Amino acid sequence: MTLLIEALIPMNLTLPEGAKTLKAGDRVELPTLKARKLLNLAKGKVRVYRTRWTESWCELANMTQDIEECSPEFQPILKALGDCDLAFAQENWVEFLKGYQSVKALVEGRDQRIRSGR
């Protein structure tokens, strides 16, 4: 499990992959135990980034409600939604957003294909 941590002020972090400089508003995904330790050590300097699970699931539902099984985008959208579901189950907001963006791009591509008459 991971948490997405947001810097409230500029700071330097030492991570397993190396040093990282964060500006205010930058986010970094950390294993939950490391994130909680950072939250305790840097009170007022970092916070857990607020995720939008419910709103995002509603947006995905609205985006995909008109996709038919015969659509060439149906299976890739289904896979991307599965990726979102797995990320949600793992409470991994960063991976969820990747799946969300995949769904959005597929739906936009479908809409463009329909508008162009292909």
Query: Do 20 and 63 fall into the same domain?
Result: no
Closest CA to 62 of 100, 8, 10: 100
Contact residues for 92 (Cβ-Cβ < 8 A; gap 6+): 1, 2, 29
pLDDT at 83: 97
Query: Do 71 and 111 fall into the same domain?
Result: yes
12-24 pLDDT, tens digit each: 988 878 899 999 9
Query: 114: pLDDT confidence band, cut at 50, 70 and 90?
Result: confident
**Is-above-0.85 flag for pTM?**
no
Query: Do 44 and 58 fall into the same domain?
Result: no
Q: The domain containing residue 111 runs over which residues?
A: 53-116
Query: Do 6 and 31 fall into the same domain?
Result: yes
- The average pLDDT across 77-96 equals 92
Alpha carbon 27 to chain centroid, angstroms: 12
Give me the number of domains the chain comprises.
Answer: 2
Query: 91: pLDDT confidence band, cut at 50, 70 and 90?
Result: confident
Return d(Cα 4, Cα 117) in angstroms, integer.
Answer: 42
Mean predicted lDDT score pLDDT of the chain: 91
Q: What are phi and psi of 2, to 5 degrees?
A: -135, 165
Strand arrangement of the beta sheet that strand 27-31 belongs to = 27-31, 2-7, 46-48
